[in-house]
A and B are shown apart, each in its own frame.
Chain A
Amino acid sequence: MSRRRRAAIVGVAESEVGRTPHLTVLSQQAAATRAALSEAGLGPGDVDALFVAGNWSWAPALTLAEYLGLSPDYLDSTNIGGSSFEAHLGHATAAIEAGLIDVALITYGSTQRSNRSRASARPPATLTEQFDRPFGLPQPVGAYALAANRYFHQYGATGEQLAEVAVSARQWAAHNPHAYHRDPITVDDVLGSPMISDPLHVLDCCLVTDGGGALVVAAEDRWPDVRTRPVVVLGHGETTTHHSIARMPDLTVTGAARSGPAAMKMAGVTHADFDLLEIYDSFTITVLLTLESLGFCEPGGAGELVALGRTGPGGDLPMNTNGGGLSYTHPGMYGIFLLIEATRQLRHDFAAGSVRQVDDARLALVHGTGGVLSSTSTVVLGRG
């Protein structure tokens, strides 16, 4: 059997991130799309597939296609929360490999921070949420707090270990001019910040920002047409374990235990092969649970993995090199920003020898998490 036609990310861009009251979820996606296509040297006429997630429209793919003036032959608005975009990349890759499409556009936009200051109404509880919402768990932080508390109980983990994740992210953010917070923080700063839902403090929680992003994914036969160095999609996996945190089978094991091995097996790589990790950091606990579920260490061992600056700049396991959802940006569904950063690292876009650029980065693991540890989607990307 002949080798399947490969897929690669050939263009990436984010829109303005932070607080952007002058933008909309659509204008953000338009700006990011234009920049991502332009970087690739492609135009709207090249796009034959559209992937988009969001809860801003009953049919976001239709709304966005009309707004952008696109008429794609392949549509996917799978919404599995923040991990949607890793899933979209997996789906786009499968469609490219199957010969169904040639050039896919994956986008995201959010005005959640600006919305907050305009009007803030929670959507009504529906269906299964009637068994959770009346009890007043602050969402999503309370769900992650339950997991953190259970994790502490099982493994004797500590708030200091969680704090190391936030400190490491902030160290990377200092080298990202677009990061929302760039001032250095210490473990004591994290532990001294106000408690939101025990044991998670303010600095254990991701930012609440506006922002958008876009990826252009192209089939192998289109790579000679593009201006960038392709970043090849080598493997992907996705799963869900629950919707409500009350139905999570084991609060210390996420779906990464399935999506991670699936992606690595497809790519034919193992843990030691990765030069960098981009791991969804909705909360500090998300990162520890994910590293363990992915198999980068034994259960209960992630605290050691993130300690002593190992995941920070200059560490042996560079992770969340843009500052992550904790310090760079987090417009609600963060997954697309993990892919944008991994792509830039693998293209060696940052100055050689700079702190931000991971030396000779060739293989990256990108892992999205959605809902309240509810969905996971993992991709393996390689320098083309």
Chain B
Amino acid sequence: MEDLVPDAETQPFWDGVAAGELRLQRCGECDRAVFYPRALCPHCFGDRLDWFTSPGKGTVYAYTVARRAFSPSAGTPPYTVALIDLDEGVRMLSRIVGDSPVRIGDRVELEITRLGGEDSPALPCFRVRESV
């Protein structure tokens, strides 16, 4: 079953990932970052949302080690799924790649990876850069 289903609204985000970039939106009314992409700012209801490229740095807010397979594109467990608070102030669900143990508070950096092998989609994942 397909897990990645880009639509008219989200295609620019996935195009960015394919090009090696993490593209987020920023609201022209309240200046806050918005993720996931949408037509209306969830903070102020402004509708002037502009794309920008994030440096992809953030902090681990929570994580879990999944022991059972769930998604065909996600590779073989065990693996670490985490909530990342990006420095722009938005939170993403993602994957921690690499072998370093993960802790809440660790600093992480974007690493775009094909989790399920060459035929699987490129996904915005993260690698631990600084442990707490």
Q: Which residues of chain B (1-27) have a CB below 8 Å from chain A?
A: 1-7, 10
A135 touches B95 (CB 8 A): yes
| Contact residues in A for B94 (Cβ distance below 8 Å) | 135
Most-contacted residue by chain A among B62, B71, B79, B81 (CB, 10 A): B62
Q: From A83-91, A145-153, A303-311, give the one contacting chain B.
A: A145-153
B68 touches A137 (CB 8 A): no
0/1 string, B51-70, CB within 8 A of A gives 1: 00000000001111111111
Interface residues on B, range: 35 or more
0/1 string, A92-132, CB within 8 A of B gives 1: 00000000000000000000000000000111111111111
Query: Given A130-B4, A245-B83 in contact, is the A197-B121 Cβ separation under 8 Å?
Result: no
| Contact residues in B for A196 (Cβ distance below 8 Å) | 67-68
| Contact residues in B for A138 (Cβ distance below 8 Å) | 66-70
> How far does the alpha carbon of A195 sit from the alpha carbon of B67 in the complex, in Å?
7
| Contact residues in A for B73 (Cβ distance below 8 Å) | 134, 136
Q: Is A158 in the interface zone, CB < 8 Å from B? A: no
B2 touches A135 (CB 8 A): no
Shortest distance between the CB of A285 and any CB in chain B (Å) = 11
A137 touches B104 (CB 8 A): no
Query: Given A135-B74, A246-B92 in contact, is the A149-B104 Cβ separation under 8 Å?
Result: yes
Q: Is A192 in the interface zone, CB < 8 Å from B? A: no
Choose one: A121, A131, A136, A146; the contact of B92 (CB below 8 Å): A131
| Contact residues in A for B32 (Cβ distance below 8 Å) | none
B62 touches A136 (CB 8 A): no
Q: Is B41 in the interface zone, CB < 8 Å from A? A: no
Q: Is B45 in the interface zone, CB < 8 Å from A? A: no
> With contacts defined as CB atoms under 8 Å apart, how many contacts are there between chain A and chain B in the complex?
117
Q: Which residues of chain A (70-94) have a CB below 8 Å from chain B?
A: none
A251 touches B95 (CB 8 A): no
Q: Is B28 in the interface zone, CB < 8 Å from A? A: no
Query: Given A136-B66, A138-B70 in contact, is the A153-B92 Cβ separation under 8 Å?
Result: no
A134 touches B92 (CB 8 A): no
Choose one: A136, A149, A245, A251; the contact of B69 (CB below 8 Å): A136
Q: Is A198 in the interface zone, CB < 8 Å from B? A: yes
B74 touches A146 (CB 8 A): no
Query: Given A142-B81, A150-B104 in contact, is the A134-B36 Cβ separation under 8 Å?
Result: no
| Contact residues in B for A153 (Cβ distance below 8 Å) | 62, 104
Q: Is A139 in the interface zone, CB < 8 Å from B? A: yes
| Contact residues in B for A139 (Cβ distance below 8 Å) | 70
| Contact residues in B for A135 (Cβ distance below 8 Å) | 71, 74, 81, 93-95, 115, 123, 125
B83 touches A146 (CB 8 A): yes
> How far does the alpha carbon of A126 sit from the alpha carbon of B66 in the complex, in Å?
22
Shortest distance between the CB of A252 and any CB in chain B (Å) = 10
A150 touches B62 (CB 8 A): yes
B93 touches A136 (CB 8 A): no
Q: Is B89 in the interface zone, CB < 8 Å from A? A: no
> How far does the alpha carbon of A132 sit from the alpha carbon of B36 in the complex, in Å?
10
| Contact residues in A for B1 (Cβ distance below 8 Å) | 121-125
| Contact residues in A for B77 (Cβ distance below 8 Å) | 136
A134 touches B62 (CB 8 A): no
Most-contacted residue by chain B among A126, A131, A147 (CB, 10 A): A131
Q: Is B75 in the interface zone, CB < 8 Å from A? A: yes
A150 touches B61 (CB 8 A): yes
Residue ranges of A at the interface with B (Cβ–Cβ < 8 Å): 121-139, 142, 145-147, 149-150, 153, 194-200, 244-247, 251
Kindly list 17 other residue pairs between chains A and B, CB separation below 8 angstroms, not including A136-B74, A197-B67.
A122-B1, A125-B2, A125-B5, A130-B7, A131-B92, A132-B93, A134-B4, A135-B71, A135-B81, A137-B66, A138-B66, A138-B69, A153-B104, A195-B67, A200-B64, A246-B91, A247-B91
- Can you report 19 residue pairs joining A to B where beta carbons are below 8 Å apart? A124-B1, A124-B2, A125-B2, A128-B36, A133-B71, A135-B115, A136-B71, A136-B73, A136-B81, A137-B93, A149-B64, A153-B62, A195-B65, A195-B67, A197-B66, A198-B67, A199-B64, A200-B64, A251-B83
Residue ranges of B at the interface with A (Cβ–Cβ < 8 Å): 1-7, 10, 35-36, 61-71, 73-75, 77, 79, 81-83, 91-95, 104, 115, 121, 123, 125
* For the complex of A and B, 7 pairs with smallest distance between CB atoms: A136-B74, A145-B64, A246-B93, A133-B3, A150-B62, A136-B71, A138-B70
